[in-house]
Amino acid sequence: MSYENIRVVMIGTTHPGNIGAAARAMKNMHLSDLVLVAPQTKFPCGKARARASGAIDVLENTRVVDDLASAIDDCTLVAGASARLRAIPWPVKDARDCAEEMVVASNESKVALVFGRERSGLTNEELERCNRLVHIPANEAYSSLNIAAAVQVLSYEVHMAMRDKEKLKLHVANDYPMSTAEEMEGLYQHFEQALQTIGFLNPENPRQLMRRLRKLFNRAQLDKMEMNILRGILAAAESPKKPREKND
């Protein structure tokens, strides 16, 4: 369990005040790793500093990157915050359960909570990079929290789960470390290529199939041994060896 391993990622934020408020909310709850993906306004900026209050140190260590992949490549568990119901069904946890899961996973590796744009949230492509959606239970008639308020609630739940960490130590350990987001992307690329090679995937319309495979394996969260097995199966499917050698 490590606060340092729990990252907050904000995508395409419009109002710099929200970035400052999020930094304050994080520091209030012991979090310090903030990454901005393509913020809409120049960063650093005075408005963010003003709202950060005593959390200037968090802002000063904030990284700015161009895309979500760069923000999460080293993470083994990525949860995307989502207020609205999605057209694409994706595993959903509520804030409390998600925070518990994050805290347990943070024991071994980096994890990330991802927050989308103020108005439009996450794109479907960003969603597909996530293992989970995390939903803050709210008034269904008015469910969209201010983004810094959402960061506050989730950071608070992370801190509450850390407090209960003795209980969480009962969690069954994995025998291999978990795969990173980057390794997962490598797997999906390999799937797409191998399924075309064996004639299972139509390259003209790959979206639904690949989305379903992403949903399945993101949900399962692969360890490195499972990753090696699946890569090995795909390689073998692309160029089968033994049985055909026998037939030669």
Of residues 104 through 143, those in contact with a second copy by CB under 8 A are 135-139, 142-143
How many other CB atoms sit within 10 Å of the CB of residue 125? 10
Task: Determine if 216 is a binding residue for a second copy (CB under 8 A).
Answer: yes
Range 219-238, binding a second copy (CB under 8 A):
219-220, 222, 225-226, 229, 232-233, 236-237
Range 184-213, binding a second copy (CB under 8 A):
195-200, 209, 212-213
Phi, psi of 2, deg, nearest 5? -150, 120
Asked if 77 and 102 touch (Cβ cutoff 8 Å), the reply is yes
Q: Residue 64 or residue 145: which is nearer to a second copy going by CB? A: 145
Range 36-95, binding a second copy (CB under 8 A):
51, 53-55, 85, 89-95
Question: What is the nearest approach in angstroms of a second copy to the Cβ of residue 125?
Answer: 19
Asked if 72 and 44 touch (Cβ cutoff 8 Å), the reply is no
Helix (H, G, I), strand (E, B) or coil at 149: helix
What are the residues whose beta carbons fall under 8 Å from the beta carbon of 169, sequence distance 6 or more? none
Question: What is the nearest approach in angstroms of a second copy to the Cβ of residue 234?
Answer: 9
Q: Residue 67 or residue 197: which is nearer to a second copy going by CB? A: 197
Q: Residue 65 or residue 92: which is nearer to a second copy going by CB? A: 92
Phi, psi of 117, deg, nearest 5? -65, 150
Asked if 62 and 9 touch (Cβ cutoff 8 Å), the reply is no
Task: Determine if 244 is a binding residue for a second copy (CB under 8 A).
Answer: yes
Q: Residue 63 or residue 171: which is nearer to a second copy going by CB? A: 171
Question: What is the nearest approach in angstroms of a second copy to the Cβ of residue 67?
Answer: 27
Range 154-183, binding a second copy (CB under 8 A):
156, 159-160, 163, 170, 172-175
Q: What is the DSSP letter of 85?
A: P
Helix (H, G, I), strand (E, B) or coil at 6: strand
Of residues 154, 81, 74, the one with CA closest to residue 110? 74
Asked if 36 and 63 touch (Cβ cutoff 8 Å), the reply is yes
Question: What is the nearest approach in angstroms of a second copy to the Cβ of residue 129?
Answer: 18
Q: Residue 48 or residue 71: which is nearer to a second copy going by CB? A: 48
Task: Determine if 14 is a binding residue for a second copy (CB under 8 A).
Answer: no
Of residues 223, 212, 221, the one with CA closest to residue 102? 221
Q: Count residues binding a second copy (CB under 8 A).
A: 71
